[in-house]
Amino acid sequence: MAEAVQLRVYSYLDRMQPQFAAYVGTITQGDLPIEGMAALYVEIAPGNEVFRVVDVAVKATEAKPGAQIVEREFGMLEVHSLSQAAVLEAGRVILKELNLKEKDRKKPEVVSIQVITNVDPYQAQLLNRFRRAGMLVAGETLLVLECAPAAYINYATNEAEKAANIKIVHVSSVGRFGRMWLSGTEAEALTAKRAAVEALESLEGV
């Protein structure tokens, strides 16, 4: 008997922020998003189910696929469009295909938060070797946030950028946990922290 599909993440972004969209463009292997687009992130298990739901979404709507990833345990997809209606329709089609509702998703959990003030030059150099976005500069404050399921970190990052004048340093949204590194002044990092946590806590789920 086939394993029931688990909706781990269903996360709608109404408007991709400039840095977040630029960052996604550096890692995506699919269609490139741009600032202002709406996006939808869906994470499911078993992972291989992601192939058929991407297929139905792109056939039924004008939304374009930016990601279709299957790793050890989960599958994750992203679709985006300048039309919010197209992205919302893609989500409706995906949920119908899976015979699930948005409320069936897992509720995100903040696993850990660290605010590191006055980052040491040596630590900044170490972290910059792993980053894919902005450069961490010595003396800045670094915000590190980890959540589960992983793909919710995209929503948290986008909402943090809306609220605070920060730099996105790195985002990891595949696997068991999602992580983001943001940097800026201490005040802006704390504002970003508050916005990210509130965004995650506002999402309903099981």
Structure tokens that stand for 24 in this block:
């996604």
Q: Same structural domain for residues 12 and 99?
A: yes
pTM recorded for the entire structure: 0.95
On whether residue 170 sits in a domain, the answer given is yes
Q: Same structural domain for residues 10 and 54?
A: yes
Q: What is the pLDDT of residue 102?
A: 97
Residue 130 neighbours by CB under 8 Å, 6+ apart: 170
| Residue numbers of the domain that contains 54 | 6-104
Domain-ending residue, one of 62, 82, 104: 104
Residue 85 neighbours by CB under 8 Å, 6+ apart: none
Instruction: Find the mean pLDDT for residues 49-76.
Output: 94
Residue 183 neighbours by CB under 8 Å, 6+ apart: 119, 134, 136, 137, 140, 141, 142, 143, 166, 167, 169, 189
* pLDDT over threshold 60, residue 2: no
On whether residue 100 sits in a domain, the answer given is yes
Instruction: Find the mean pLDDT for residues 142-168.
Output: 98
Q: How sure is the predictor about 120, in pLDDT bands with cuts at 50, 70 and 90? A: very high
CATH code of the domain in which 169 resides: 3.30.70.1710
Q: Same structural domain for residues 79 and 132?
A: no
Q: Same structural domain for residues 97 and 116?
A: no
On whether residue 1 sits in a domain, the answer given is no
